[in-house]
Structure 1
Amino acid sequence: MTEVVRMSAASPGVAVVCGDRRVTYAEFAARVNDLARWLIAAGVGPDVAVGVAMPRSVEMLVAIHAIVEAGGHYVPLDVDAPLDRVRYMLDTADARIVLVVDGAAPAVIADLPEPIRVIGVDTWVPIDPATPPIADAERRAPIRPDDAAYTLFTSGSTGRPKGVTVSHSAIVNRLEWMREWYGFKDSDVVLQKTPITFDVSVWELFLPATVGATLVLAEPDRHGDPDHIADLITTENVTVIHFVPSMLATFVDVLGPRLSGLRSLRAMFTSGEALAAATAQAVLAELPALELHNLYGPTEAAVDVTAHHVLPGEATVPIGVPVPSTTTFVLDARLQLVPVGVPGELYLGGIQIARGYASASALTAERFVADPFGPPGARLYRTGDLVRWNSAGEIEYLGRTDFQVKLRGQRMELGEVEAVLASAPGVVHAAAAVVDFPAGAQLVGYVSPDDVDLDAVRATVTRALPEYMRPTLWVPMAVMPRNSAGKVARRALPRPEIEVREIVAPETGPETEIAAIYADVLGLDRVSVTESFFDLGGNSLAATRVAARVAQTLDADVTVRDLFDTPTVRGLANALTGRGRTRAQLTARPRPQRLPLSTAQSRMWFINQFDTDSSAYNIPMGLRVEGAVDTDALRLAVLDVLARHEVLRTVYPSDGAGPYQRILETDAAAEELDFAVTDDEAELAASAVRGFDVSSRLPIRVRVRTDRGGGRAAEDRAAHSDVVITVHHIAFDGESSPVFVGDLLNAYLRRTGAGIDAPLPLPVQYADFALWQREVVGDVADPGSPAAAAMAYWRAHLAGLPAVTDLPMDRPRPAVLDTTAG
């Protein structure tokens, strides 16, 4: 960096503007070189960390440049952070010197114990403008490209911040491509308003000095004040500025028509979070001559690694294309490239990748992985960002993979929801979160300001998102909480309050019974019969539970649609008046001599009999148990589960009338059960992909292997035991797994003397469901049955569809179907 950032004492320009003070390049270079020599004498050199705890000031800028000039790397400190956090950051970075403004050390720094050395920086003392630059021979060692330039701390999932250490070569590449791509010149005036604890500050701090441009410093703690920023732009003729998108939205909203008066701006950069198209287009409409560039990059990749030039009329804003000397890969969970349009995680490679996390080798190894596409030793950084390539060859940001949530069985990216909320009329800031309530989780939408038209926001959401991705609770906020980087402070988002209005008591028996069900499902003491179930915190999943319980209590047909149509207790009670049952309840039924299959089982049976060697519908479960497993007790426990669940001890032979269910008695199932103990690890895997013939064999097999770990007798205890249980889909699905494992654990503990009570017998078995389904749906051969009507409907609606759906593929379609993964 010292070769790129050359501050010439002969430069006639102004290097820094801070309030009324103007510092020439001659003075600035002299002060940087003077302090750098002092730091070298104090032991600062390559890979020596130096803390910086200063407000935005000339002293701050001189200190940072001097540390780099001396060969060290600077560590920005948040002076408002607790003492314990600051000490942790200094210890992690191994910084033993902290620079502060002379005579104005922050309280948290003054409280630091030995051996931390606190040094004051004074830029008001006289300085010789002819102070020579630092020669390489003066440094404690030559600066190498891989030496650290800075360590920035970001929040960590463990609750402790993680320090990202970035090399000279990484940040030099970052400065050089930005300088060349966007034509920076000595006539530019750059506004420095980003806190130095945020990585965007890096190019603001150093890029102007690469071309001799002027850097204007915003007042401390006023970088989020739109009026102050606008005044600086106007008075100092600022040409280049950066905004976090949420701050830009506020800036546009506060300035309104005054935005068009900021004509000195030639280039505006955004990064740090997704840029809403509405915000971008509002800026371009007021400043048509402005170049707006949306950049993207994590702290772990030297600030920014992709860029997109935003044009008027764009409906979405991509994060763009990779910058020089960087690589971007969109990969799936197996590190395979995904096709255009398919979401995947973004992996970054190239020269800008950080060295890693300070004093955290395990975390570094987890996030910085071997590059499968690069030369030996090359690395990729796992961003955790969900993206996709668009048809124009640019990357679109979809959200965080760690913002991926599952709500009522559906996966969603909160970032996608937030992007739609932010696009709604009048919304300046938006956030989304899943919050747990007694009735179940709810998707909550947070919007600001608090006078936003929520009906308009709901309409926007309805147009853009499927129902399961639409917030069901709303929290309008006067001001959205933000952290020091200008991003939404998610932990500060308030929990929604369910407003309970005046209680209107039930007046009839059905109202009383329905109100009791509402209150129980919602976790409330009581409910008003005129209050909507959904306004009280209910959701579609909870509505399903309510409908089933009301149907059972009132012995009437009740559907979830009834609850959506009439969500109040009184409304639902009135709607159900006089309604009885048209559909038989699902209860245990007398078993006929010939038990039919359910419709789903019929499909599974046909596919299975077509190829009994296929493992396409196997559902394997792998369990690792610490220590040795009592295999005799485990076999008996499996048989206990089979005794409890008839479907697991059922075979499906056929006769002239087709397939039927034959449920084995427990003793017969014990003889048929495919249970084996093996020493062969390969057999564990093979058992999971071996087919079933469900017409004659039980749809379940079990393999157990104990790893003895080797060694002498004292070490000959089992290290662990692996249990692989494979069940065919004709008797099992994804939701069955936790039920099966829970029942198996209960049975195993009982079989090994744990004294646990056996569960109560199941009131309904799957065979009862199959009988009930056939009774309700009827036979497709009967033209008057619901089954026949459904068949006719789908045949009509699917008529004419292509035999093959040509979706984008990452490899050629095989001539013969192969269900093998990989």
Structure 2
Amino acid sequence: MRMESHNNPVTSLSLNQSLEDAVQNRRFNRQALAGLSPADQKKFEAFGRGPERQISHHAIHQAFELQALKQEKAIAAQHKQENISYGELNRKASWLAVQLATMGIGQGNNVGLFLERSIHMLVGLVGILKTGAAYVPQDVRITPESTLIDVMDSADIHIVLTLSHLVEKIPVRDHQRVLAIDSLDFPKSEDQQSWSMTVPRSAASHGDNCFILFTSGTTGKPNGVRVTHGNVCNILLTAPGNLGIKPGYKVSQLLNIASDMAAWEILGCLAHGGTLVIRENDFTEAAKQCDVIIATPSILAKVDADQCQRIKSVAVAGEPCPRSLAENWAGRCRFINSCGPTETTIINTAQHFRPHSMALTIGKPTPNNTVYVLDEHMQPCAMGEVGEIWAGGKGVSAGYINNARLTRERYQPDPFMADGSLMFRTRDLARWNEEGELEHFGRTDDQVKVKGFRVELDAISNVIESAGLCQQAVTMKLNDKELVTFVRPANSSIEKCLKAIEDRLPYYS
């Protein structure tokens, strides 16, 4: 609710009443708020906690299986000239799960999904989830071999699913095995009875890992974030994260499979019965066919809104969104501007932006999530003061895989809920406005976004320095697409520096 005037008694009374209503049944620890004025305590509680919602499934693939049962012949995905129905995708994924289970894959394991966009990608993803294991996605075409090795070692991956033409790009060792999904001899649907009784009954629940996503680290070695089924179900099975997707809707799949926003596209679509339109080289062609687009602002800016006649919902995240871009799309469809690091599961704040909105913000906490603006001592900032975002609630992931030290640094007990749950330090700067929405003010560290990906500037500098190619390196963001590194001495080999970066870091670095 917007306050038109601080002197308007009716508006002030309405705001106070809405704050009182918002904190009903809240369980905030009042002692942790003692440094705030009584008025700010009410706002801290009202603004900082998203609505409470019940979640319909414990594991995200259960939502897909329900759709496959309800609409077996509906098209689940299309890519190039190929389609796959919900029934066929479910059968192939179930058969693959049987094969993986015979290899010892089950609850608590991690399976590599190292491939490129395809319908086989979906078969592999759902098949892994059906075993109770977590999938670990990488686009093998553009990921350095050293990164793939780091990912496999960190996630203790013994089996990698890929495509036949990419097998040679997987740097496996003696204890690891590669399966090309497109070369497997899937049985015909009429033969299902002969093997369906052996399909593993997944014990995966809300606390089990759904996927492991690797983000950039300051040393150049990626950090694996453990995202649970409960995390994923919380954002994708509630509004606004569900984006209104339903049977008959087409959802674009534009983004790199190693990003959390690709999980939003894929799992969000399949959980609600939509048709996933997997892009080819020209992503604008896929976007033009769809009812729902999920993208980074830089990708969305390349799509001609006038050609998207079906469009009903657009969601952006991953980078700051220009207001002009938001206004262009908000006049045509429902436009969601959102924010949230991988560690808080895709997004944890969202704004439904309208052409007449006073400001473009990153919005309010999503359901069952909390957001706090704290100072350097982890104390609540007064309303309107800029501080650092700490995020709590059901979206907070399970920490970094095999990195207890970093997990302890970034995940802390939530003193405001005081229920044993954790909150995550995002390092984003923000403040609350009068409408209870967050205005973003950049970051406290050297992390930047390039093409929607997180890049640690120190990682690039450290790679060059550790290779002994210069005495000192400093990296800066030049624009939304380019980074620039300064090295000294001046006679350092630029070619060798670039080669070191290409060998150790993802392409967007």
Same fold, TM-score > 0.5, yes or no: yes
- Flag the 1:22–1:104 CA change in 2: closer, same or farther, 3 A: same
Give the C-alpha shift of residue 140 in structure 1.
7.8
- Flag the 1:8–1:247 CA change in 2: closer, same or farther, 3 A: closer
Give the AA of the match of 1:5.
F
- Flag the 1:443–1:190 CA change in 2: closer, same or farther, 3 A: closer
Give the C-alpha shift of residue 165 in structure 1.
0.5
- Flag the 1:266–1:61 CA change in 2: closer, same or farther, 3 A: same
Tell me the equivalent position of 1:99. Answer: 161
Q: Is the 8 A contact 1:36 1:67 kept in 2?
A: yes
SS in 2 for 1:382: strand
Q: Deviations over 1:534-569 (max 9, x none)?
A: xxxxxxxxxxxxxxxxxxxxxxxxxxxxxxxxxxxx
Q: Deviations over 1:39-92 (max 9, x none)?
A: 111111111000011110011111011101111000112423332221111111
Give the AA of the match of 1:115.
H
**Are 2:388 and 1:345 aligned?**
yes
Q: After the TM superposition, which residues 511-660 of structure 1 pair with which residues of structure 2 at under 5 Å, given as runs?
A: none
Give the AA of the match of 1:122.
D
Q: Deviations over 1:380-431 (max 9, x none)?
A: 1001111111111011111111149xxxxxxxxx99xx9xxxxxxxxxxxx9
**Are 2:47 and 1:4 aligned?**
no
- Flag the 1:244–1:40 CA change in 2: closer, same or farther, 3 A: same
SS in 2 for 1:359: coil
SS in 1 for 2:445: helix
**Are 2:312 and 1:312 aligned?**
no
Tell me the equivalent position of 1:493. Answer: 484
**Are 2:395 and 1:336 aligned?**
no
Identity %: 30
Give the Cα–Cα distance (whole angstroms) in 1 for the partners of residues 216 and 148 of structure 2. Answer: 13
Give the Cα–Cα distance (whole angstroms) in 2 for the partners of residues 142 and 132 of structure 1. Answer: 22
Tell me the equivalent position of 1:239. Answer: 291
Give the AA of the match of 1:281.
E
Give the C-alpha shift of residue 135 in structure 1.
8.8
Give the AA of the match of 1:370.
P
Q: Deviations over 1:154-208 (max 9, x none)?
A: 0011221000011111111111114786322101100111111111011211122
Tell me the equivalent position of 2:104. Answer: 43
Q: Is the 8 A contact 1:244 1:270 kept in 2?
A: yes
SS in 1 for 2:89: helix
Give the C-alpha shift of residue 5 in structure 1.
2.3
Give the Cα–Cα distance (whole angstroms) in 1 for the partners of residues 270 and 326 of structure 2. Answer: 29
- Flag the 1:343–1:275 CA change in 2: closer, same or farther, 3 A: same
Tell me the equivalent position of 1:689. Answer: none
**Are 2:414 and 1:365 aligned?**
no
> Of 311, 318, 321, which residue of structure 2 is paired with 1:272?
318
TM-score (norm 2): 0.73
Q: After the TM superposition, which residues 654-669 of structure 1 pair with which residues of structure 2 at under 5 Å, given as runs?
A: none
Tell me the equivalent position of 1:248. Answer: 300
SS in 1 for 2:321: coil
Tell me the equivalent position of 1:386. Answer: 429
Tell me the equivalent position of 1:229. Answer: 283
Give the Cα–Cα distance (whole angstroms) in 2 for the partners of residues 208 and 261 of structure 1. Answer: 22
- Flag the 1:316–1:26 CA change in 2: closer, same or farther, 3 A: same
Q: Is the 8 A contact 1:5 1:207 kept in 2?
A: no
> Of 172, 178, 181, which residue of structure 2 is paired with 1:118?
178
Q: Is the 8 A contact 2:97 2:200 kept in 1?
A: no
- Flag the 1:38–1:394 CA change in 2: closer, same or farther, 3 A: same
Tell me the equivalent position of 2:14. Answer: none
Give the AA of the match of 1:215.
L
Give the Cα–Cα distance (whole angstroms) in 2 for the partners of residues 370 and 297 of structure 1. Answer: 19
Give the Cα–Cα distance (whole angstroms) in 1 for the partners of residues 384 and 86 of structure 2. Answer: 49
Give the AA of the match of 1:293.
I
- Flag the 1:210–1:85 CA change in 2: closer, same or farther, 3 A: closer
Give the Cα–Cα distance (whole angstroms) in 1 for the partners of residues 315 and 322 of structure 2. Answer: 14
SS in 1 for 2:326: helix
Q: After the TM superposition, which residues 464-503 of structure 1 pair with which residues of structure 2 at under 5 Å, given as runs?
A: 481=481, 492-493=483-484
Give the C-alpha shift of residue 276 in structure 1.
1.3
SS in 2 for 1:3: helix
> Of 252, 259, 275, which residue of structure 2 is paired with 1:198?
259
Q: Deviations over 1:669-705 (max 9, x none)?
A: xxxxxxxxxxxxxxxxxxxxxxxxxxxxxxxxxxxxx
- Flag the 1:233–1:84 CA change in 2: closer, same or farther, 3 A: closer
Tell me the equivalent position of 1:21. Answer: 82
Give the AA of the match of 2:300.
L
Q: Is the 8 A contact 2:334 2:352 kept in 1?
A: yes
SS in 1 for 2:371: strand
Q: After the TM superposition, which residues 80-91 of structure 1 pair with which residues of structure 2 at under 5 Å, given as runs?
A: 80-91=142-153
- Flag the 1:16–1:369 CA change in 2: closer, same or farther, 3 A: same
Q: Is the 8 A contact 1:49 1:72 kept in 2?
A: yes
Q: Is the 8 A contact 2:92 2:186 kept in 1?
A: no
Q: Deviations over 1:619-663 (max 9, x none)?
A: xxxxxxxxxxxxxxxxxxxxxxxxxxxxxxxxxxxxxxxxxxxxx
Give the AA of the match of 2:176.
I
Q: Is the 8 A contact 1:306 1:320 kept in 2?
A: yes
Q: Deviations over 1:437-460 (max 9, x none)?
A: xxxxx999945xxxxxxxxxxxxx
Q: Is the 8 A contact 1:46 1:140 kept in 2?
A: no
Give the Cα–Cα distance (whole angstroms) in 2 for the partners of residues 198 and 128 of structure 1. Answer: 33
Give the C-alpha shift of residue 231 in structure 1.
2.3
SS in 1 for 2:128: helix
Q: Deviations over 1:300-338 (max 9, x none)?
A: 011111110111144642110111111111111111111
SS in 1 for 2:122: helix
Give the Cα–Cα distance (whole angstroms) in 1 for the partners of residues 198 and 385 of structure 2. Answer: 53
- Flag the 1:133–1:307 CA change in 2: closer, same or farther, 3 A: farther
More relative contact order, 1 or 2 (CA 8 Å, 6+ apart): 2
SS in 2 for 1:177: coil
Q: Is the 8 A contact 1:30 1:132 kept in 2?
A: no
Gaps of 5+ in 1: 223-227, 405-413, 419-430, 435-441, 448-479, 482-488, 497-522, 524-822
Give the AA of the match of 1:104.
H
Tell me the equivalent position of 1:562. Answer: none
Q: Is the 8 A contact 2:338 2:362 kept in 1?
A: yes
Aligned pairs, how many? 405
Give the Cα–Cα distance (whole angstroms) in 2 for the partners of residues 28 and 445 of structure 1. Answer: 42
- Flag the 1:181–1:112 CA change in 2: closer, same or farther, 3 A: closer
> Of 186, 192, 197, which residue of structure 1 is paired with 2:247?
186
Q: After the TM superposition, which residues 389-538 of structure 1 pair with which residues of structure 2 at under 5 Å, given as runs?
A: 389-403=432-446, 446=478, 481=481, 492-493=483-484
Q: Is the 8 A contact 2:130 2:201 kept in 1?
A: no
Tell me the equivalent position of 2:329. Answer: 283
Give the Cα–Cα distance (whole angstroms) in 1 for the partners of residues 206 and 196 of structure 2. Answer: 17
Give the C-alpha shift of residue 137 in structure 1.
8.8
Give the Cα–Cα distance (whole angstroms) in 2 for the partners of residues 135 and 352 of structure 1. Answer: 34
Give the AA of the match of 1:231.
E
Tell me the equivalent position of 1:160. Answer: 221
Q: Is the 8 A contact 1:371 1:379 kept in 2?
A: yes
Q: Is the 8 A contact 1:100 1:118 kept in 2?
A: yes
Q: Is the 8 A contact 2:63 2:272 kept in 1?
A: no
Tell me the equivalent position of 1:128. Answer: 188
Give the Cα–Cα distance (whole angstroms) in 1 for the partners of residues 104 and 338 of structure 2. Answer: 37
Q: Is the 8 A contact 2:279 2:285 kept in 1?
A: no
Please, what is the CA RMSD of the aligned residues?
3.0
Give the AA of the match of 1:350.
G
Give the AA of the match of 1:95.
I
